[in-house]
Amino acid sequence: MTIELRSLAVDEWRELARERESAGEAVPDAATSERLQEVFGAALSIEAAVRTILADVRARGDAAVREWTARADGARVESLRVPTGAAADAERALEPRLRNALLAAAERIRGFHECQVADLSARGTSSVQLRPEPLTRVGCYTPGGRAAYPSTVLMTVIPAQVAGVGAIALASPPDDEGRVHPLVLASAHLVGVDEVYAIGGAQAVGALAFGTQTIARVDKVVGPGNAFVTAAKRMIFGAVGIDQLAGPSEIVVVASEGAEAELIAADLVSQLEHDTLAWAACFTDNPTLASALVEQFAAQAERAQRSGIVGSAAGSHAAVVTCESLEVALRLAEEFAPEHLSLQGPAAELLRDRVRSAGAVFCGAFSPVSIGDYVAGPNHTLPTQGAARHRGPLSVLDFVRWPSVTQLSESEFEALAPIACILAEAEGLHGHAAAIRVRMAHADSSA
């Protein structure tokens, strides 16, 4: 079966992109709906199911976490916390090449995030300032179960450590036998995290946010997950902080003449293999490149190990769009505000410093998105679904709060007090004004 990359006009692409903007609650596929019916005995939405789980975890703690782990994930976990020795054993069992790769990636990621510490200094004057304070405790969620994402351990834990977070708890779903994947455990041990819990899904998010008999509550929950994790993060926001709401993976390539169609096709396929809901597009001003890309994409997608997922995603959310100019191509990319933006070809690369709305920018033939997923240095936890308009990658600053400190001198108080009184009385808050005036009187009497 041929997997096609559709060729769309600019207006056709914009119409397709509106589908992402109008997305509301997560709609379960047939398999998920069947599983919800099986677990809950009713045709619940993902949001209703998550709300039920969170309420139960908040009320019953550990017992609810164990029960929902058994019911939803089919895993019986007696001890929620993984013994420290298990993580050490997992690291010792690593094949040397893999261990060295993890260490190299961790070093590169840590080095990049340590550059951000220069921003962590008090800002203001001697009397009024913002003072950076690392969060006390955070929860890092790493998807798992049958799959393993050690890169997510590195990307969530390391910036928290660089920020100076006092305690880090890592949660990852167990497999059928109740065990966290050894690669996740080994990665946690490599970066010095010994508090690991064998729990996933909404119950993990709830346990971290509310606390249980075993798990101390955190100040913030970070890390990507499936639709249940994302819904849970949305619901616990306010009780604790969250980093962002992760949606399906996205890549947009802006390409000019001189770009390699083979490389672009490989980048599109690499992101579409994540999920049938993933998005991938190439915007180019060169019709010849667009035609070559269609051919290259078909050939590579059919050879892909996850060709079924790639084909399903491509049929719904992938396209090549030929634009009248690179200016139009950049405008389309900015409108979409993609998670990943790749600039390919000599002319496209000149646009690098003009990009304003993208989670991460990859520039040039030797900067594929895939390297950014693992070892380039910047964080791979990125905004999706247009959130790149208002935030960037997970960073050290996500693990720092900025309380303000006010300590006015007597002369500053005397200058500001009359202004504050006028404004307080204009708002009808006379008690506010009185709290200021009593100090004005006190200052006058002691003069």
Domain that holds residue 100: 84-242
For tokens 């679904």, name the residue: 385
Distance between CA atoms of residues 255 and 341, nearest Å: 11
Q: Please, are residues 338 and 251 in contact by the beta-carbon 8 Å criterion?
A: yes
Residue where a domain terminates, one of 190, 208, 242: 242
pLDDT at 24: 60
Do 160 and 271 share a structural domain? no
Distance between CA atoms of residues 311 and 314, nearest Å: 5
CA distances from 115 to 138, 239, 391 (A): 21, 31, 19
CA distances from 179 to 67, 74, 200 (A): 16, 12, 11
Provide the domain count of the chain.
3
Do 228 and 98 share a structural domain? yes
The DSSP letter of residue 357 is S
- Residue 71 in any domain: the answer is no
To the question of pTM greater than 0.75 for the whole model, the response is yes
Do 200 and 263 share a structural domain? no
For Cα atoms 291, 297, 301, give the angle at the middle one, nearest 5 degrees: 160
> Dihedral sign, CA of 163, 167, 173, 178?
positive
> Which token pair is 232?
């849970």
> Which token pair is 211?
């606390």
Count other Cβ atoms within 10 Å, centred on residue 117. 14
Do 376 and 288 share a structural domain? yes
pLDDT in tens, the chain (447 residues): 689 999 999 999 999 999 887 656 677 778 888 888 888 888 889 999 999 999 999 999 999 999 999 999 889 998 999 998 999 999 999 999 999 999 999 999 999 999 999 878 888 998 999 999 999 999 999 998 667 899 999 999 999 999 999 999 999 999 989 999 999 999 999 999 999 999 999 999 999 999 999 999 999 999 999 999 999 999 999 999 999 998 899 999 999 999 999 999 999 999 999 989 999 999 999 999 999 999 999 999 999 999 999 999 999 999 999 999 999 999 999 999 999 999 999 999 999 999 999 999 999 999 999 999 999 999 999 999 999 999 999 999 999 999 999 999 999 999 999 999 999 999 999 999 999 999 999 877 766
Query: Where residue 312 sits, what CATH number does that domain have?
Result: 3.40.50.1980
Do 127 and 12 share a structural domain? no
Give the SS3 label for residue 79. Answer: coil
Neighbouring residues of 365: CB distance < 8 A, sequence distance ≥ 6: 259, 260, 263, 344
Do 274 and 229 share a structural domain? no
Do 345 and 264 share a structural domain? yes
How many alpha carbons fall within 13 Å on the CB side of residue 53? 35
What is the set of active-site residues?
339-340
- Residue 140 in any domain: the answer is yes
- Residue 413 in any domain: the answer is yes
Do 214 and 257 share a structural domain? no
pLDDT at 8: 97
